[in-house]
Amino acid sequence: MSLDDLIALSNKSMNPSKLHPVVLESTYALMETCYKEGIYIRITQGFRSMEEQATLYGKGRSNYIYNGKQYGNPKEKIVTNAQAGSSAHNFGYAVDFVLCSEDGKQVFWDVNSKWKRVIEIAKTLGFFSGIDFKTLYDPPHLEMLGGYTVSQIRNGAKPNLVSKVKNPIKVTPTTPPASIQSSSTTIKLGDKGSQVEKLQKDLNTLDYDTKGIDGVFGNGTNEAVRKFQQDNNLSVDGIVGSTTLEFIEKNLKLKEIVNMTNELKVSDATKNAIINLAKYGIMSQDYEITKDYELTLISMMNGLVKAIESGKLKTK
């Protein structure tokens, strides 16, 4: 797939006309640089309306009213702590990306060396990466706030963003190739390929038996996906979309932390405390868990401090 086609596909998801011009220009430059290095990415989210943000925030909450409308949806799992007007997406200052296959049909959510290279390039263009958030690990997220906070922007601040793109590419509005116009970023029953194989490996790592790892999304994989969705309070449909993939990645990270924590020579109460902090995103890669109990304790305390400073953890 050509770069123009990838951009056209991404434009369908990011509402380019509502992104800040520098953010948009820098996003296209990021895609171009990655493309030249043989790294293919798609933009999965750009501008997000207040109503869309309210819908996301309402998931997992019994009561959330925005502009007189009830958005609470306790049957779903909490996916964000950002209310309407609290996300950089709501003001056109952020995009989310994902790695994809050369033909743009498959997406890959594992944070590997290519993913980290995308972030490295993005930072040279002035983006701040969600992988560096202290209390919320958000690898797909890239934002430009010009030194302001989202709260300040919501209250009227206008970031003076300066583009670092030397040779902006000219984007001609195009339509994605017919072969992928109706394609989805989901994985479902009957699908085949490396994406399915990775899904099977991840599910088995999390103790969900797919009845084999063969790259074929059959009944065994379908049952494993449904069981995972049920256990994580997701919509049980057997279809692996972005939300299910996100929860798989979170569970894999949590299992890694649990395994490391279990090697510590500390009480079960201490282990449970560390694991619970990890569940809430306070213990992250910024606060390393090691076999050294003292270092782990210091990391845990630093995580709590950062959570308090960010407002994620309230004190009396």
Q: Where are the domains of the chain?
A: 3-48+87-181, 186-253, 263-316
Calpha distance 277→296 (Å, rounded): 12
Among left, alpha and beta (phi > 0; psi -120 to 50; other), residue 131 is alpha
Do domains 3-48+87-181 and 186-253 share one topology? The answer is no
What is the pTM for the complete model shown?
0.58
Calpha distance 125→167 (Å, rounded): 12
Q: What local confidence, expressed as pLDDT, does residue 25 receive?
A: 95
CATH of 3-48+87-181, one of 3.40.50.300, 3.30.1380.10, 3.10.129.10, 2.40.10.10: 3.30.1380.10
CA 55 to chain centroid, in Å, comes to 17
Calpha distance 110→70 (Å, rounded): 35
Please report, in tens digits, the pLDDT of each residue of the chain (316 residues total).
889 989 998 998 888 999 999 999 999 999 999 999 999 999 999 999 999 899 989 988 999 999 899 999 998 888 788 899 999 999 999 999 999 988 888 888 888 999 999 999 999 999 999 988 876 778 999 999 999 999 999 999 999 999 999 888 776 655 554 444 434 467 889 888 888 999 999 999 999 999 999 999 999 999 999 999 888 878 888 989 878 888 888 788 777 767 766 666 667 777 777 666 666 555 544 444 455 555 566 666 666 666 666 665 555 5
Residues whose CB is less than 8 angstroms from the CB of residue 257 and which lie 6 or more positions away in sequence, other chains included: 274, 275, 278, 283, 289
Q: What local confidence, expressed as pLDDT, does residue 123 receive?
A: 96
Topology of domain 186-253, CATH: Muramoyl-pentapeptide Carboxypeptidase; domain 1 (1.10.101)
Q: What local confidence, expressed as pLDDT, does residue 310 receive?
A: 60
Q: What local confidence, expressed as pLDDT, does residue 281 receive?
A: 56
Q: How many Cβ atoms sit within 10 Å of the Cβ of residue 71?
A: 20
Distances (CA, A) of 81 to 78, 137, 191, 199, 244: 8, 12, 33, 27, 18
